[in-house]
Chains A and B, each alone.
Chain A
Amino acid sequence: MNVLMTGVGGQGIILASDMLADVMMRAGFDVKKSEIHGMAQRGGSVMSHVRYAKHVASPLIPLGECDILLSFEELEAARYVQYLKKDAVVIINRYRLSPPSVISGKEPYPDVLPILREKTDRIVIVDGSRIADEMGNPKGVNIILLGKLSTYLEADEALWTLTMNDMLKEKIRAANIEGFKRGRQA
């Protein structure tokens, strides 16, 4: 299984992909994960590859092999479309963060759905950012989106709870577990 997470530096993508990898290790899979830290995080485009199977060789997903794309931002869902399998599931957070050329008024924010529809019609749009705002925890959008993603994956909800208990600080744990549940229902 190949899961790609995309978005913008600072959205909590790395923690989300760490958690997915941990859950799948608990589920008994071999897991590999790869992303870029450092300069890419200063508000730049971020992509994290998570792969799990009986045995995984490459930490990078080959082109056309991504089963599920989870994008934390609308535009970033379309940037890596070449990785998608035909009929892959695409989960998009309804959230737009304008890149510099849009901010400065040089070009409009693009319409990404036609680009994605060339590969798949299984496109799910989630109000992750709105739910996070409603819950008074805008930073918790990553857990809400993970909740939604989890409904497409084999691992038991109990494994997710174990991972959250293990990886999240006590102070923020309860709110995040609640966010995860809201995401599952979203």
Chain B
Amino acid sequence: MKKILSGNEAIARGAYEAGVAFASAYPGTPSTEVLEDIAAEYPGIHAEWTPNEKVALEVAAGASYAGARAMAVMKHVGVNVAADPLMTLPYTLIRGGLVLVSADDPELFSSQNEQDNRHYARFAKIPMLEPTTSQEAKDFMIEAISISEKFGTPVMLRTTTRISHSMGIVEMGEVKEPPRPSVERHPAEWVMLPANARVRHPVIERRMVELKEYSNTSPLNVIETGDRKLGIVSSGVAYQYAKEAFPGASFLKLGMPYPMPDRLIREFAGQVDELWVVEELDPFMEDQIKALGIDCHGKDRLPLCGELNPDIIKSTISGVAPAPFVKPPLPGRPPSMCPGCPHRSLLWALRRNKAFIAGDIGCYTLGFLPPLDAIDTCLCMGAGINHAHGMATVFGAGKEKIAAVIGDSTFYHSGITGLTNLAYNKGAALVVILDNSTTAMTGSQNHPGTGITIRGEATISLDLEKLVKALGIEWVKTVDPYDVKKTRKTIKEALAFEGPSVIISKAPCVLLKSRKVTGKPLHVDPEKCNGCKVCIGLGCPAIEFRDEKSFINSSCAGCGVCEELCARDAIGGGK
């Protein structure tokens, strides 16, 4: 049977066919749908959202130690969080197949950087597979489990946004019988004390030699002989772009780009007149090919930044510049916080109180856009609290108004340690936890504060206020962000307080059924509106400025924030 699947759905299907029993992830674009699809389609696989990627990899490793096949899924920057276990895992004995799915984001469609995670495979000394289609995403997931068990190593399955989120036709396959878990003890291979780890390191080095041999002979890496004038080494979606641009050329397609197949590369290089390495982001393959003493083109001509496409590859290799094109001067349409979003009024109030606002990763980062201009930093998950603490400490308590904002899911991911530090080291910053009861940016995933698992079962729900107090913060208040006056007053009090303070801004995401807005659009009385633009300052997509007056369009969610701010009482209705 054939189906059209995205790369992420195909990986989920591959996990099912490979007999994976345990799958864990923290949501992150473009990786999120892998675990969502497993939870929705394959009830036989245990699926869990973990608070962060380090936990995801460690629980999957535990399942593997028990003899079950397991996978952990994350976006590229998530692997940074999981890097600690990743670096030592290959030293340990892998029983059930263990796959790390890393979804990279060239072009930064929804990320804070465009790091190339292929380096992690080399860094951690683990094999890496890279599919070029949805069909291969499924097949390579199965192959990754098989390589993991054959060589006793974690395997990285690396995708990019254009593999994870592109769709193609996939042929369904048979399901492999999974191994039965059992308790075994392997202290010499699992207790990574120096004495044991020292013995395990050479095991990795020998394994890498064997894997290189496998890479040289595996059908994952294949020479496609065409016109010998141009030879292209490529992998991932870049291979498909290059195929589109030069369908007649010779190709060395690397489904297993690490460890690289040295003999195969020499063989291919010897067959072609001009050798090009076509890869997105860093010269990962190119550097290794050059280290073999083989001359080739690659990043001397192709861009290091952003994603590739058939046009860039065609014009770069052929040397024929594309037809000049001037983009029409159209107004941009950046993403923005939704009408009725509870973050908007909170950020507006914080900015009005003239606080410096250290931000974090989530929808609220969009509050950086004008007219709100209400986010001053954004580095990585959990960094905002720490920025604020570092900054406030330099100035001294009460000298400057320094605040941090962080979402609930991000707080559970990596905000707890920062807040503990802030309390322990006698910090003075204000931390606002934007509790919208979901992981909104990635499409509403549950987390430890929502009381629901990935499969919709009831579970524990963390009490944020109690948790914050337990971390050592005494000044904690919960506000309803739609009550702007009270929110502003509470922010003022918190900023004036000389010790550490936390405000929990609690209102469900406007995309959730539990939302606290009416959903009925408000309207502006043009007789009363004097065009003062106070409501426009909220940056709400529902409020337009037409003919020197405000106008509320049909996307209004009826949150009432603009109504409360309007000094002329010109906004109403919607009840």
B531 closest partner in A (C-beta) = A105
Contact of A35 among B165, B241, B338, B545 (CB under 8 A): B165
Known contacts being A39-B110, A43-B335, is A59 close to B166, with CB within 8 Å? Answer: yes
B328 and A38 contact, CB distance less than 8 A = no
A62 and B309 form a contact (CB under 8 A):
yes
CB pair B328–A81 under 8 Å, yes or no, is: yes
Contact A39 B441 (CB under 8 A): yes
Cα separation A41 to B133 with both chains bound (whole Å): 24
Contacts of A62 in B (CB 8 A): 244-245, 309-311, 314
Residue in contact with A78 in the complex, picked from B310, B325, B330, CB distance below 8 Å: B330
| Chain A binding surface, main DSSP class | mixed
Q: Contacts A22-B4, A62-B311 hold; do A101 and B169 have CB atoms under 8 A apart?
A: no
* A60 CB-CB contact with B under 8 Å: yes
Residues on the B chain within 8 Å of A42, using CB: 335-338, 363, 366
A28 to B109, CA, bound (A): 32
A40 interface contact, C-beta 8 A? yes
Report the separation of the CA atoms of residues A101 and B252 in the bound assembly, to the nearest whole angstrom. 48
B247 touches A57 (CB 8 A): yes
B322 proximity list for chain A (CB < 8 A): 63
The verdict on A100 contacting B441 (CB below 8 Å), with A18-B167, A25-B2, A34-B166 known, is no
Residues of A close to B441: CB separation below 8 A: 38-39
Cα–Cα, bound, A44→B363 (Å): 13
Determine whether the beta carbon of A59 is less than 8 Å from that of B29.
Answer: no
Q: What string of 1s and 0s marks CB contacts (under 8 Å) between A26-38 and chain B?
A: 0000111111111
Cα distance A82–B326 when bound, in Å? 9
The one of A31, A82, A110, A115 in contact with B168, judged by C-beta atoms closer than 8 angstroms, is: A31
CA distance A44 to B133 in the complex (A): 27
Contact with B along A1-41 (1 / 0, CB 8 A): 00000001100000000100110010000111111111111
- The residue that B169 contacts in the complex, of A25, A36, A110, with Cβ under 8 A, is A25
The answer to whether A37 touches B165, judged by C-beta atoms less than 8 angstroms apart, is yes
Stretch touching chain A among B56-64, B180-188, B204-212, B535-543: B535-543
Q: Is the CB of A100 within 8 A of B335?
A: no
Docked complex Cα distance between A41 and B333 (Å): 11
Interface residues of B in 335-372 (CB under 8 A from A): 335-338, 363, 366, 369, 371
B311 and A63 contacting across the interface, CB-CB below 8 Å = yes
Q: Does A154 contact B (CB under 8 A)?
A: no
Asked if B93 lies at the interface with its beta carbon under 8 angstroms from chain A, I say: no
**Chain B, residue nearest A36 (CB):** B109
CB atoms of B544 and A37 under 8 A apart: no
At the interface, yes or no: A107 with Cβ under 8 Å from chain B? Answer: yes
With an 8 Å Cβ cutoff, the count of chain B residues facing the other chain is 56
CA–CA, A144 to B98, complex, Å? 46
**Which residues on B sit within 8 Å (CB–CB) of A57?**
240-241, 243-244, 247
Query: Given A31-B168, A32-B167, A42-B363, do A102 and B335 touch, yes or no (CB 8 Å)?
Result: no
A101 and B4 contacting across the interface, CB-CB below 8 Å: no
B331 at the interface (CB under 8 A from A): yes
Per-position 1/0 for B110-134, Cβ under 8 A of A = 1000000000000000000000010
- Nearest CB on A from B25, distance (A): 15
Contact B335 A40 (CB under 8 A): yes
Rounded to whole angstroms, the CA-CA distance of A45 and B293 in the bound complex is: 46
Cβ contacts A58-86/B at 8 Å (1 or 0 each): 11101110000000000110110110000
Map CB proximity to B onto A92-135 as digits: 1 under 8 Å, 0 otherwise: 00000011111111010110100100000000000000000000
Cβ–Cβ contact A58 & B310, under 8 A: yes
- B537-561 contacts to A, CB under 8 A, are 539, 541, 543-546, 553
B513 on interface, CB distance cutoff 8 Å: no
Minimum C-beta distance from A126 to chain B (A) = 20
Query: Are A107 and B331 within 8 A (Cβ)?
Result: yes
Report which of B4, B314, B323, B545 forms a contact with A105, defined as CB distance below 8 A.
B545
Asked if B51 is at the interface (CB within 8 A of a chain A CB), the reply is no
* Interface assignment of B30: CB less than 8 Å from any CB of chain A: yes
Say if the beta carbon of B446 comes within 8 Å of chain A: no
For the complex formed, measure the closest distance between the CB of B180 and the CB atoms of chain A, giving whole angstroms.
37
How far, in whole Å, are A35 and B335 apart by their CA atoms in the complex? 15
How far apart are the CA atoms of A56 and B442 in the complex, in Å?
A: 29
**Residue in B closest to A110 when the chains form the complex, CB atoms:** B330
In contact, B331 and A43 (Cβ under 8 angstroms): no
The residues of B that contact A25 with a CB separation of less than 8 Å are: 2, 4, 169
The answer on a CB contact under 8 Å between A59 and B162 is yes
Least CB separation from A107: chain B residue:
B331
Give the Cβ gap from A137 to chain B, nearest Cβ, in Å: 14
**A60 contact from B162, B323, B337, B369, Cβ within 8 A:** B162
Asked if B319 is at the interface of the complex by the 8 Å CB criterion, the answer is: no
Closest residue of chain A to B328 (Cβ to Cβ) is A115
Cβ of B327 under 8 Å from chain A: yes
| Bound CA span A38–B161, Å | 11
Choose one: A21, A44, A109; the contact of B335 (CB below 8 Å).
A44
Closest to A37 in B: B165
Q: Does B237 contact A (CB under 8 A)?
A: yes
Question: A38 and B539 in contact (CB under 8 A), knowing A31-B169, A101-B332, A110-B331?
Answer: no
Tell whether B194 is near chain A: CB-to-CB under 8 Å: no
Residues of B within 8 A of A (CB): 2, 4, 29-30, 33, 109-110, 133, 161-162, 165-169, 237, 240-241, 243-245, 247, 309-311, 314, 322-323, 325, 327-338, 363, 366, 369, 371, 441-443, 536, 539, 541, 543-546, 553
Q: Name 15 interchain pairs, CB-CB below 8 A, sorted by A.
A: A30-B168, A34-B166, A36-B165, A37-B165, A38-B29, A38-B441, A38-B443, A40-B110, A42-B335, A44-B335, A57-B240, A59-B166, A62-B314, A64-B323, A105-B536
Mark A residues whose CB is within 8 Å of B. Answer: 8-9, 18, 21-22, 25, 30-45, 56-60, 62-64, 75-76, 78-79, 81-82, 98-105, 107, 109-110, 112, 115
Interface pairs A-B: 6 shortest CB-CB: A38-B29, A44-B335, A42-B335, A38-B110, A105-B545, A58-B244
Given contacts A8-B333, A58-B243, A100-B332, 11 further A-B contacts (CB under 8 A): A9-B335, A25-B2, A32-B133, A38-B110, A57-B247, A59-B168, A75-B333, A79-B328, A100-B333, A105-B546, A109-B331
